[in-house]
Amino acid sequence: MNPSTANIEEAILSAILAGRIPPGTRLGEQKLADLFGVSRTRVREAMMRLETRGIVQVSARRGWFVVEPSAEEAREAFQTRRVIETGLLQTVREVPPEVLASLKEHVAIERQAIETGDVSSRACLLGDFHIHLADALGNRLLTEIIRDLTARTTLISMLYQPTEKAEESSHDHEDIVAAMAAGDLAAAARLMDEHIGKVEAGLDLSSKPDPLASLRELLVPSTFTDVAPSMPHPHGTAAPHAHHHPSTKED
């Protein structure tokens, strides 16, 4: 893989995990090429790799976009995470002391970010816990899979999660690590399953938020027409207000 292509992929994936790139964001080839100092061919290679990983999709007319997972795709993503992450803990026979120390340190950093109100860092750290766990246990392939799945569920949370429960998630992580430290991997797997289940249960998959809500509110004419004075008509009579509602159809 070309190093520049890898950098583009890593930058986009990291930004998604940190919650800085929302679903549906357009990723312009030329702007990315200028930003990374590479050709559009290199950018396209990176986008194609991210597409195979389920992170972006392409539109023939409008280019590359970060995916907007459907409710069904959200359910599938969380189901997959539960199978993989609980299965990982179920197959571990022993957790090395250095792994436990690393995980405890990660949870401590999570707690610090929550206590200081560092929203960007805590969002990144909470998602990274699952990636860090797989990485610390030495399974590189599973680490890559969990990283991609975590990115997808981060996008899903942006679309369907009404409130963030950062403190609760961090406590769950702490309990999982405590079970691992006690040598009870079965309990750790059960706690992981419950944790992912709680995150999924906190989503409102019944309806997808309206991406045009803020713009729609700004352009609703009723507020303006209720208070605006009548414009004088060229022949001395007031012209009636035209109540045209803005179209929400995207060009």
Mean pLDDT, range 24-49, rounded to an integer: 95
List, in sequence order, every residue forming a beta bridge with 56; answer none if it has no partner.
66
Considering the domain 3-66 in this protein, what is its CATH number?
1.10.10.10
The Cα–Cα gap between 125 and 18 comes to: 8
Among 133, 111, 132, 130, residue whose Cα is nearest residue 122: 111
Cα Rg of the chain (Å, integer): 23
CATH number for 71-201: choose from 3.40.190.10, 1.10.10.1100, 1.20.120.530, 3.40.1370.10.
1.20.120.530
The Cα–Cα gap between 120 and 32 comes to: 23
pTM: 0.74
From-to residues of CATH 1.10.10.10 in the chain: 3-66
From-to residues of CATH 1.20.120.530 in the chain: 71-201
- For the stretch 43-94, pLDDT in tens is 999 999 999 999 999 988 889 999 999 999 999 999 999 999 999 999 998 8
